[in-house]
Amino acid sequence: MHDYRKLRVWHDAIELAVEVYQLTNAFPASEKFNLISQMNRAAISVGSNIGEGAGRSSNPEFIQFLHYASGSCTELITQLTIAKRLGFTSETGAETVSIRIQSVHRQVISLIQTLRKG
């Protein structure tokens, strides 16, 4: 069992969720149950899966949840791309969130590799 609160990737995933919520807050109200909901849930899923996996009793279980977090990162990049193409966010807003997603995703992959060695 790992203490997720000591993992930088978990803290960065929390910041990612906050940034996504702030970004989607400016989307059209008509997207409330569509893209806004999807993006917010994907962003929450990243940190949630890191936390849940850390609470598991073995590294293989933790790794499985990190794979879920990784999938949520790639899902979020896809949704962000769609939002940008639809004009729901500025280039700057999208780039800021994209950089955060990529950073968290790299950390998740790195943690997976570390746990596999370990």
Taking every pair of C-alpha atoms in the chain, what is the biggest distance, in angstroms?
Answer: 47
Domain boundaries, the chain: 4-117
In this prediction, what percent of the chain has a pLDDT beyond 70?
100
Cβ proximity of 13 and 46 under 8 Å: yes
Amino acid at 41: R
pLDDT category of residue 82 using cuts at 50, 70 and 90: very high
Average confidence (pLDDT) over 90-118: 96
Q: Locate 65 and state its tokens.
A: 């949840």
**Residue 50: CB partners within 8 Å, gap ≥ 6?**
4, 7, 9, 10, 13, 65, 66, 69, 108
**Whole-number Å distance between alpha carbons of 20 and 33:** 15
Q: Locate 42 and state its tokens.
A: 């994907």
Q: Locate 99 and state its tokens.
A: 């950089």
Level-2 CATH architecture, domain 4-117? Up-down Bundle (1.20)
pLDDT category of residue 62 using cuts at 50, 70 and 90: very high
| pLDDT value at residue 1 | 79
pLDDT category of residue 14 using cuts at 50, 70 and 90: very high
Decide if pLDDT at 87 tops 80. yes
